[in-house]
Structure 1
Amino acid sequence: MNDSNISAAAERRDLIILGGGLVGMTLALAAARVGITSHVIDRADPADLVAEGADGRASAISTASWNLFTNIGLADRLDGLGCPIDSIAVTDGMKPGRIDFTPKAEEGSLGRMFANRDLRIALFDAARDEPNIAWHVRTEAIRRDRDGHGVEVELADGRVLRASLLVAAEGRQSPTRDEAGFALAKWEYDHRAMVTGLFHEKPHGNTAWEIFYPEGPFALLPLLDDAQGRHRSALVWTVGEKDAGGVIAMPDAMFVNEVAERMHGVLGTISLSAPRMSYPLRFHHAGKVTGERLAVIGDAAHGMHPIAGQGLNLGLRDVGTLVEVLSEGMRLGLDPGDAQLLARYEKWRSLDTFMVMSVTDGLTRLFGVPGRTASAVRRLGMGAVQRIPTLKRFFMDEARGMSGKLPELLQA
């Protein structure tokens, strides 16, 4: 439901979720499925977020994240909108010795690529139909109070909401996380991601390409053909911050030429299919993700290089874990803000998050070392992965999000 339909706005609910983006709204829906009620607060207007052309980005949804969407009833709304990733080709500058990650037929795809707009439409439509969600849009929290009895949030329009637990899903610049004093391990990569969509002459065959250059990775991610039957892929091209201004200033024709040069003709002739966007790349990891009646999830808790496409998926693992911990505790009669439950959530997520982010950061640094010797060593290692099934299985399980201890919502 939307804010105009909410009566008794001060009614106490189980959760107050600050941020109604992909992670925050998925949490609200997953919680609602097990009877956990929530207030969701978002400063944006949903109509703006789903407007045609407002956001040309796409996200890789891992197998585990797709299981979550299926288990909370979103799969039908998303059916036919995602492009399967049937294989991933990894190469060091298109030199010999690439790795091909292709699961067995019975294992299904390595994930699915969705336009962010389609994900938002599905989430927002489901939220409007869910009585356990009170959705407050075009407003923000101007006061957040937490104590032993509960949580109280005052909105910019004067309304006061109450709950047992506050969840910060506000993204990388989370004011709630900063207000709570959670220390961040963080550093700049001195890189910028250039993001857009491409039309291309040859079909992609549902293959994602990860091409590593010393200045940064260059990823081509398969999308469904458009309504006119044109082949499409999403592009995430990482460039050094010192070169970013020049790339941003390029006319479209020059930009396309630079992209084509790095693609080595694998998809034939190309042209732009979406607006060009860019954003700086940073690493951050909150040392704590819980406090008194507070949990921090998604990009508010962790942000990484997009090299492995795991940022959103890591946030969705937060969702599945938090809902499982809260629902089990509430079945035992515990309050959703109980310190024991939050301690269990933090312990479960801290190891998994650290492992995924460490691997991602390590890959970023390994493939960013320039020079022929470094390239030869990388290709030697890639050849070993290509030949050794157990190593290949490890990396495919990571890509599918099926490693480690998974919450039930992320299991098939």
Structure 2
Amino acid sequence: MTKPDTDLIIAGGGLAGATLALALARMVPSLRVTVVEAFPLSPDALPESYQPSYDARSTALAWGSRLIFEELGLWQRLAEHATPIEHIHVSDRGHFGATRLHAAEHGQAALGYVADNRWMGLCLMRELLDTNVQWRAPAEVTDMTPIPGGVRVQLSEEGEETAELTARCLVVADGGRSGLRERLGFRPDRHSYGQNALIANVSTSDSHGFTAFERFTDAGPMALLPHGSPTRAGHQSALVWTLSDEVLQQVLALPDDEKCRWLQDRFGWRLGRFTRIGTCHHYPLTLTTVDEPVRPGVALVGNAAHALHPVAGQGFNLALRGLMTLVEQFRLAEEQGRSIGDIEVLKRYQALHREDWQQTVRFSDSLVRLFGHSMLPVAAARDAGLVGLDLLPGAKRWFARKAMGLGGRRAMIERPGNLNREAPANE
């Protein structure tokens, strides 16, 4: 192939795609990167200041993800509207088992953070404006054809006929619902949990005290994450509530005060009375994995490669670690004079990330299955396990490191004074 139009095409400019573009701009500046995004983008649309909305969707960021954003020079801005999680309380409704994690016990300022998705997107866009990353928006990748030395990508752009771009590699980062993954011939393995996640912001009469609650119930797990001010422990939390199809429809049909009463019954009174619930969003819960997420010239990342149950808030944090692993392999390929679309380069990324995503999938899936059983012997065993976590320092430290996103491989980051440093795989 003669010189391609660009070196890398990223299909999808959401949190995963934009983070990958920024990481490459910071760490592999020799690469020409083009992001193809379905939504229109304009620097003029970026507000001068950010006003959080009560109904804003949010993401749980593990401590390990903070470390990655620090390496990318993004954390200082993100932290302006990121609420710290200083404590985690895990309990089993109707049973005695419980465990508690505290950041101070692990020498950390926080176990994780909660940040609005829109705020994270704005921070990424502002940083990307100062890079050489190119954008095609609104546009969509509709197909791809392998060619010698790379790929030819077909784009559908608003108001124009189909366009084409050549590149050394295509990274699919547009989530698991776009259909591009399937159009390119990847076959995901799906397991439905027969449940739905209801997401909303709620207010309580008592302050959250920067505490995240993971509550396992007979209907499935629910989480309440501290939300709002990064410095003042307020009364707003982000809710993730797991419900069956039937119960979901019942809850959605209720007026807000009745929704709060249902929530009160399932969660209890650890935060006092539920006083408000915002706009409710929901989606079906499915464990989706792609066993072979790479091909010559193509790699899947983020939810396009693996989508998890939201229990323990591992999804985006796993994706972020995978992105940094891919960036490192691209950096090494550039140093070695190899094409970033070389299948051996992409297989190396897959091999390094595989253990992390397999462990994280097993961790999340086992929690769902373990706490989904109502049989008395199983309930007694898991409650004993929760008490054991609270009493055994080694087990508790392992659980805390999983929660903080420090259980998997963290990619090497090129920074002054930090060249060629890699955290051990057991960090």
Question: TM-score normalized by structure 2?
Answer: 0.88
Q: Does 1:206 align with 2:207?
A: no
1:231 matches 2:238? no
Aligned pair in 2 of structure 1 residues 54, 109: CA closer, same or farther (>3 Å)? Answer: closer
Inter-CA distance 15–313: structure 2 relative to 1 (3 Å threshold): same
Query: Of the candidates 33, 42, 47, which is equivalent to residue 38 of structure 1?
Result: 33
User: Could you tell me whether the CA contact under 8 Å between 1:111 and 1:400 is conserved in 2?
Assistant: yes
* CA distance 1:136–1:31, shift in 2 (3 Å): same
Contact kept, 8 Å, 1:55 with 1:117, in 2: the verdict is no
Q: Give the match's secondary structure for 1:80.
A: helix
Partners of 2:41 and 2:127 lie apart in 1 by: 13
User: What is the alpha-carbon distance in structure 1 between the residues aligned to residue 231 and residue 209 of structure 2?
Assistant: 18
Distance 1:276 1:68 in 2: 31
**Identity value in percent:** 32
CA distance in structure 2 between the aligned counterparts of 1:241 and 1:75, rounded to whole angstroms: 38
Unaligned runs of 5+ in 1: 1-9
Distance in 2 (alpha carbons) for counterparts of 1:94 and 1:44: 46
Letter of the structure 1 residue corresponding to residue 72 of structure 2: I
Against the structure 1 CA distance between its residues 332 and 53, is the aligned structure 2 distance closer, same or farther, given a 3 Å change threshold?
same
The amino acid that maps onto 1:98 is: A
Q: Would you say the 8 A contact 1:232–1:273 is kept in 2?
A: no
Alpha-carbon distance in structure 2 between the residues aligned to 1:22 and 1:49: 16
* Counterpart residue number, 1:276: 280
Q: Provide, for residues 12-41 of structure 1, a one-character-per-residue CA deviation record: whole Å limited to 9, x for no partner.
A: 222100011111110000011121331101
Does the 8 Å contact 1:196/1:272 carry over to 2? no
Match of 1:12, SS state, is coil
Give 1:271 shift.
2.8
State the SS of the aligned residue for 1:189. strand
Give 1:399 deviation, angstroms: 1.1
1:127 aligns with 128
**1:309 is the counterpart of 2:317:** no
1:106–1:385 distance in 2 versus 1, CA, 3 Å: closer
2:166 aligns with: 162
Q: CA deviation at 1:367?
A: 0.1
The SS at the match of 1:335 is coil
Equivalent in the alignment of 1:390: 394
Per the TM alignment, residue 11 of structure 1 is displaced from its structure 2 partner at its CA by 7.0
Which has the higher relative contact order, 1 or 2, with Cα contacts under 8 A spaced 6 or more apart?
Answer: 1
The worse-fitting range, judged by mean Cα deviation, of 365-374 and 45-54 is 45-54
The alpha-carbon deviation at position 87 of structure 1 amounts to: 1.5
Amino acid at match of 2:128: A
* Equivalent residue, structure 1, for 2:73: 73
| Shift in Å, 1:122 | 0.6
Instruction: For residues 301-329 of structure 1, give each alpha carbon's deviation from its aligned partner in whole angstroms, at most 9, with x where no partner exists.
Output: 00111001011111101110000011011
Matched residue type, 2:407 = S
Q: 2:195·2:245 contact (CA, 8 Å) conserved in 1?
A: yes
SS where residue 118 of structure 1 aligns? helix
Displacement of 1:79 in angstroms is: 2.5
What residue number does 1:146 align with? 146
Instruction: Name the residue aligned to 2:355.
Output: 351
Alignment of 1:39-188 (within 5 A): 39-46=34-41, 56-93=56-93, 95-103=95-103, 104=105, 106-131=107-132, 133-157=133-157, 158-188=162-192
Q: How many Å separate the matches in 1 of 2:399 and 2:316?
A: 18
- Deviation, 1:269, is 2.5
Cα displacement (A) at 1:107: 2.8
Deviation at 1:140?
1.0
The offset of 1:181, in angstroms, is: 2.3
Amino acid at match of 2:15: L
Q: Which moved more, 1:222-231 or 1:80-89?
A: 222-231
Q: How much is the aligned-residue C-alpha RMSD, in angstroms? A: 2.4
Normalised by the length of structure 1, the TM-score is 0.91
Change (3 A) 1:285 1:84: same
